[in-house]
Each structure stands twice: as C-alpha cells, then as structure tokens.
Amino acid sequence: MNLLELNEISVEYQLGKNNILALSNVSFSMYPKEILGILGESGSGKSTLALTIMRALPKNARIIGGEVIFNGKNLLNLSEDELNSIRWKEISIIPQNSMNSLSPVHKIRDQLRDILLLHEPKLDEKEVINIMEEKLRLANISEDVLDKFPHQLSGGMRQRILIAASLLCNPEIIIADEPTTGLDVVTQYQILKELKNLQSAKGFSMMIISHDISVISNTSHRTVVMYGGKVVEIGPSDSVVESPLHPYTRMLLEVQMEISKKTQNELHSRTNFNKPHKSVGVNFTHHSGCPFVQRCPFATEKCKTEAPTLLKVNNDHYVSCFLFNK
C-alpha cells in the first residue's frame, strides 16, 4: 500500500513575462517505512517537488496539473486550515539551509515550542519541555541549546535542531531537502547515519533529496532520478547505482567515480558509456522531447520531438529512455 502518491504533477514559475516549467508530469509512489531518495542536479526540480508536497511554493509558482495523494487525501484540494493540520504533524520537512530556516532573533526553545503548540495546544509547559528535550536527544544534541540563539551554534548543531523540529509531532513522513549542504564531510556522515538510524528506530518514511549520488545510495531503499523537471529513472538504490539505465544516471555515477581511476575504468567497461564532452545547462523551457537530449551522446531525432515515458525494464527498475523501447 502506498503512503504517498504523486500523479502527473506539473508546476510552473512565472519569471517576468515567461512561464518556466519546473516539474513536468512527475509521478511516483512512496511506501510506509521507506527511505526514498530523490537524486538530481541543481535545477532538476527536486526542491520544487518538496515544496509542492508541502504546499509551500513561492507566490510566483503554480501547480498546473496532477495530484498529491497522502493517506487517501489529495493534498492539492485541501484548505489552508486542513493543510496546517497535516504540516509538521503528519508530514514535516528538514530544509536545506539551517541558518535561513531558524529565526535569528528567537531562542531555540521558543522556536520549537511554537511548532509543538501549534499542533498540540493542550500541552502544559512541562510536557512541552520534555518533548523538546526528548527530540533533541534523538537528534544527538544536548538540551542546553534550548537557551541559545542560532548564531551561537555550529552548522551541524543547527541542522540537528531542524531534525529535532521535524520529529516533534511524530510525523509519518519526513522530507530532508539536502540535509547536509554546507557541512564538513565528517558532520555530513554523522548526520546521515543518525537520520538513517532514527528512521529505522521510529519507523517513519523519509524522502532524502540530494545532488550527491553517494548520499542517496548510502541511505535510501529506492531512488528517483530527476532531470529537467522530469523523472528519468526509478529503482532500488543498489540497482540504480550498480546497473544505471538512463544516460544521465550513468553520467552522474561516472562523475562520482572519477575519484578513483581504477573504479572509473571498471565503470566504462561495465556500462560502455562515454561521458558527454560538452556541458549544457538544464533546459527549463523544454516542453517536448527528452529533457536530456542536448547532453546525451545517444540522442536521436526522435528524442528531440517525443518525450519517452517510464518503462519497466526489470523487477522494480524503470527508465524513461527510447534506448529501452523495443
């Protein structure tokens, strides 16, 4: 049974006189107690996807099609009051920039209390403090931070506070949007390990959004690969990494593996894939054809005019590419 379903979601931004398509017919499901990775470069639509689920898009964005089904309800049809009863309590988010996400003029205690009391107004002060301290301990940070301001804390500590905030109301889904951005390698590893342990212990579902294929492969059960606002590959994370199907996923993996010449040579031998020589930015205004067509070494005329659909290749591994249409 699916906990969350996205069906044909399309979102556009208005920039001046132009309408920019940021998501185009995005569809996938999320299962209970699953860690789902969303992988793609900056500008692929990952964060727009998270904001769409939370119904927190900026004013210049609008959802032009599709539905987001959570526990049988279409979130796109709910009133603001109905949404507020779901945000943080049933679906919470760990935003990617901890300094911008926390108020600089309020202590951590006040910020966590406000979130908690918004959804649990009948709690007394002792209960509130107990819950805040419990969630901070779960996020591996001392309750001493409650009397601190954000600027008095390190980036890793602020990120752990956001993790604690996401846990306050025991949600069913936590969306972690680039949860380790700007952190040193050791702190990144610690936070990802803690997130994975928390998910396993508490049994919530988690969506991890990242541009780093190693982050996704080391934490998620399944991976959704996005490019140019579209889903190009979905599959078990091990399968996506070990046997990537879409040329874009292969390119991402090759770039990741360049740290080891030996491993890179093995990748070339296994996939028979040549890295594109030209670098072309994501084409946000591309309304027809494959979004990867300008960078793909296998592109044909058909790729320029027709959009491939997700095709099941083996087991639970899907790809959107004409190379697999037989």
What string of pLDDT tens digits covers the 326 residues of the chain?
A: 789 999 999 999 998 888 999 999 999 999 999 999 999 998 899 999 999 999 999 999 999 999 999 999 999 999 999 998 899 899 999 987 766 789 999 999 999 999 999 888 999 999 999 999 999 999 999 999 999 999 999 988 999 999 999 999 999 999 999 988 878 888 888 989 999 999 999 999 999 999 988 899 999 999 999 999 999 999 999 999 999 999 999 998 888 776 445 444 554 555 554 444 333 344 444 557 899 998 999 999 999 999 899 999 988 999 999 998 76
Through-space distance between the first and last CA atoms of the chain, rounded to whole angstroms: 31
**Per-residue CA distances from 101 to 87, 150, 158, 176, 318 (Å):** 16, 10, 9, 13, 35
Domains recognised in the chain with CATH numbers: 4-90+171-319 (3.40.50.300)
235 vs 319: CA distance, rounded Å: 8
pTM: 0.88
